[in-house]
């Protein structure tokens, strides 16, 4: 709801739309009565509506520009002081000596993460040999299958099939279930008894807990979240956004 002072300022702005009124020749009380009467007319209501619409359009544009300015400044600050995220035992793909490391915090049941996964695939293709991905699990509590899926991926990792399970989970988000995890483990040729045991192991649970704590420490509360050589990317942003950050890092390292 608009504040009273804002409405008053808008009403006074309508003076320009009422040529019969001359502020220099009318008392404040009379002016207020005249404006109130004018506001009851169709012309007055239309003028007020247009003024309010223009006001909010202008405010939205000002806020958009300010957000862009703040984001640009935040990005500059991060390039000066990038965040150090410990990869630890997280599954990785790409060369260990790649100049770019992207740490990803993701949820296998999150539709935005699935979309972001496609962007990451594009990044790996476009920057073949120059990018390494480290995957960390951040299963959100309102996604019922997020944690079981994370366990399945890490259990598959213990048999060298993390990325194969990772891809299958994202490609079949609507089918996530215990039956699906076991069926996929069989399709990947895993030792099923070991897979089931590893899914419920303390080691896997601790890794998910450690990933979740790392996300909290680095200000990632939703998914997906990324750090590109320490520069945060929050949300399923397009390839162009990742490209701008990666290219800038590569220029710095050239």
- Mean pLDDT, range 144-152, rounded to an integer: 98
Distance CA 171, CA 137 (A): 17
Q: What is the mean pLDDT of the chain?
A: 87
Give kind and range of the element (H or E) at residue 114: helix 111-126
**Looking at the DSSP assignment, which residues form a beta bridge with residue 226?**
104, 233
Does residue 147 surpass a pLDDT of 60?
yes
Higher per-residue confidence, 52 vs 91: 91
- Mean pLDDT, range 112-120, rounded to an integer: 97
Tokens of 218: 């680095």
pLDDT digits (tens, 9 = 90+) for 190-231: 999 999 999 999 999 999 999 999 999 999 999 999 999 999
Buried b (16+ CB within 10 A) or exposed e, 168-188: bbbebbeebeeebbbebbeee
Does residue 234 surpass a pLDDT of 50?
yes
- Which letter does DSSP use for residue 216 in this model? H
Does residue 2 surpass a pLDDT of 80?
no
pLDDT of residue 209: 97
pLDDT of residue 15: 46
Q: With bands split at pLDDT 50, 70 and 90, how would you rate the model's confidence at 252?
A: confident
Q: With bands split at pLDDT 50, 70 and 90, how would you rate the model's confidence at 18?
A: very low
Q: With bands split at pLDDT 50, 70 and 90, how would you rate the model's confidence at 3?
A: low
pLDDT of residue 68: 55
Give me the domains of the chain, ranges plus CATH numbers: 4-80 (no CATH), 92-253 (3.40.30.10)
Does residue 4 surpass a pLDDT of 50?
no
Does residue 135 surpass a pLDDT of 70?
yes
Q: With bands split at pLDDT 50, 70 and 90, how would you rate the model's confidence at 169?
A: very high
Dihedral pair phi/psi, residue 236, rounded to 5°: -85, 75
Counted residue by residue, the chain has a size of 254
Query: What's the whole-model pTM score?
Result: 0.74
Tokens of 237: 């942003």
Does residue 8 surpass a pLDDT of 60?
no
Alpha-carbon separation of residue 75 from 16, 55, 69, 78, 231 (angstroms): 44, 30, 10, 5, 7
222 exposed, middle or buried (CB, 10 Å; 0-12, 13-18, 19+)? middle
């Amino acid at each position: 709801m608009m504040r009273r002072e804002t409405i008053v300022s808008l009403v006074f702005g309508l003076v320009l739309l009422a040529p019969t009124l001359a502020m220099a020749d009318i008392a404040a009380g009379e002016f207020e009565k005249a404006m109130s009467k004018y506001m009851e007319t169709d012309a007055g209501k239309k003028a007020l509506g247009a003024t309010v619409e223009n006001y909010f359009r202008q405010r939205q544009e000002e806020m958009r520009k300010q957000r862009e300015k703040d984001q640009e400044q935040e990005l500059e600050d991060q390039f000066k002081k990038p965040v150090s995220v410990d990869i630890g035992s997280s599954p990785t793909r790409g060369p260990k000596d790649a100049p770019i490391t992207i740490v990803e915090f993701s949820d296998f049941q999150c539709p935005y993460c699935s979309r972001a996964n496609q962007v990451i695939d594009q990044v790996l293709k476009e920057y073949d040999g120059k990018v390494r991905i480290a995957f960390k699990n951040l299963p959100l509590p309102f996604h019922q299958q997020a944690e079981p899926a994370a366990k399945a991926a890490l259990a598959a990792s213990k048999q060298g099939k993390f990325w194969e399970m990772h891809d299958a989970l994202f490609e079949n988000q609507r089918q996530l279930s215990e039956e699906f995890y076991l069926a996929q483990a069989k399709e990947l040729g895993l030792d099923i008894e070991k897979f089931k045991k590893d899914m419920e192991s303390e080691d896997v649970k601790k890794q998910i807990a450690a990933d979740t704590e790392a996300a909290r420490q680095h200000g990632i509360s939703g998914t997906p979240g990324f750090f590109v050589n320490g520069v945060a990317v929050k949300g399923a942003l397009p390839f162009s956004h990742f490209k701008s950050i990666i290219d800038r890092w590569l220029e710095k390292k050239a």
